[in-house]
């Protein structure tokens, strides 16, 4: 979250979200299409896993090719870190220039959907309960942050909670929002565009556009400078 600069701090230009994604070479696209025709999802996931923990050129390349073969849509210039875990990636759509950090877990559902917009940056060790999840363009997702898209109803009470029905609720993260390190977004939440969620916050209610929230549970603690003029222009 934005705060006054301390002695010794310095400001540098952003890198990830300001550079345009270079179109992926045609041979990557063709190989992904060929693999999709020849292999089933389980075989494709096995192939993805074979290259999951390497950092060499071939490992990085094959992770991207296998992911393209698995998902509904994969944009250009996507970076997949080491040891990323996928469940039901056939329900995912991923935009241009997305960065997925090491050890991220993306857990979809066979009848769900997960949409990740252009230029999204996902920090290492993040967790996505991506059964009904939309992350719009240029969202920053801090390392270790989590989103939960489902919870057990708890009824009836005479059986273990984990045996009760699962309620899936959509989660929406608006364009340009920033989710802090180790924050938790609960089921059914909408984080408005341009909002900032503080590190370690637990978000239990919708977050207004361009607001700053923090705490457990998260509450509005301020507004981004100039937010009123931005909202008028939208």
Contact 84, 102 (CB under 8 A): yes
Q: Could you give the angle at the alpha carbon of 107 between the alpha carbons of 27 and 163, nearest 5°?
A: 155
Sheet holding 146-147, edge to edge: 85-87, 105-107, 127-129, 146-147, 184-185, 202-203
Report the alpha-carbon distance of residue 115 to residue 122 in Å, rounded.
13
User: How does residue 180 score in pLDDT terms, banded at 50, 70 and 90?
Assistant: very high
pLDDT at site 21: 83
How far apart, in Å, are the Cα atoms of 191 and each of 4, 5, 95? 25, 27, 19
Residue 234 has pLDDT above 60, yes or no: no
Tokens standing for 152? 């057990």
Report the alpha-carbon distance of residue 230 to residue 41 in Å, rounded.
44
pTM: 0.92
Average the pLDDT over 56-68 and give the result: 97
How far apart, in Å, are the Cα atoms of 168 and each of 60, 105, 114? 33, 18, 13
Residue 110 has pLDDT above 60, yes or no: yes
Report the alpha-carbon distance of residue 16 to residue 84 in Å, rounded.
19
Question: For the chain, what are the domain ranges?
Answer: 24-70, 78-233
Superfamily of domain 78-233: Hexapeptide repeat proteins (2.160.10.10)
Residue 230 has pLDDT above 70, yes or no: no
Contact 195, 212 (CB under 8 A): yes
pLDDT at site 62: 97
Smallest CA-to-CA distance from 146 within 166, 175, 123 is with 123
Q: What is the largest CA-CA distance in the chain?
A: 59
pLDDT at site 132: 97
Average the pLDDT over 18-29 and give the result: 91
Residue 1 has pLDDT above 60, yes or no: no
What is the share, in percent, of the chain residues with pLDDT greater than 70?
Answer: 94
pLDDT at site 226: 77
Residue 232 has pLDDT above 60, yes or no: no
Task: For helices 26-38 and 57-70, give the axis angle rounded to 10 degrees.
Answer: 60
């Amino acid at each position: 979250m934005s705060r006054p600069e301390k002695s010794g701090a310095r400001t540098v230009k952003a890198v990830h979200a300001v550079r345009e994604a270079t179109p992926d070479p045609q041979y990557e696209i063709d190989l992904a299409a060929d693999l999709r025709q020849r292999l089933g999802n389980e075989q494709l996931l096995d192939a993805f896993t074979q290259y999951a923990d390497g950092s060499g050129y071939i490992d990085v390349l094959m992770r991207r090719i296998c992911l393209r073969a698995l998902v509904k849509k994969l944009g250009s210039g996507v970076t997949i870190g080491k040891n990323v875990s996928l469940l039901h990636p056939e329900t995912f759509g991923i935009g241009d220039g997305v960065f997925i950090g090491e050890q991220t877990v993306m857990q979809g559902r066979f009848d769900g959907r997960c949409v990740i917009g252009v230029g999204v940056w996902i920090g290492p060790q993040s967790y996505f309960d991506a059964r009904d999840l939309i992350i719009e363009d240029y969202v920053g997702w801090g390392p270790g942050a989590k989103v939960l898209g489902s919870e057990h109803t708890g009824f009836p009470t005479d059986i273990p909670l984990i045996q009760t029905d699962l309620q899936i609720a959509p989660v929406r993260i608006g364009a340009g929002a920033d989710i802090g390190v180790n924050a938790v977004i609960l089921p059914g939440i909408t984080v408005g565009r341009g909002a900032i969620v503080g590190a370690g916050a637990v978000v239990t209610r919708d977050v207004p556009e361009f607001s700053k929230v923090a705490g457990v549970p998260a509450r509005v603690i301020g507004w981004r400078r100039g937010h009123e003029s931005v909202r008028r222009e939208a």
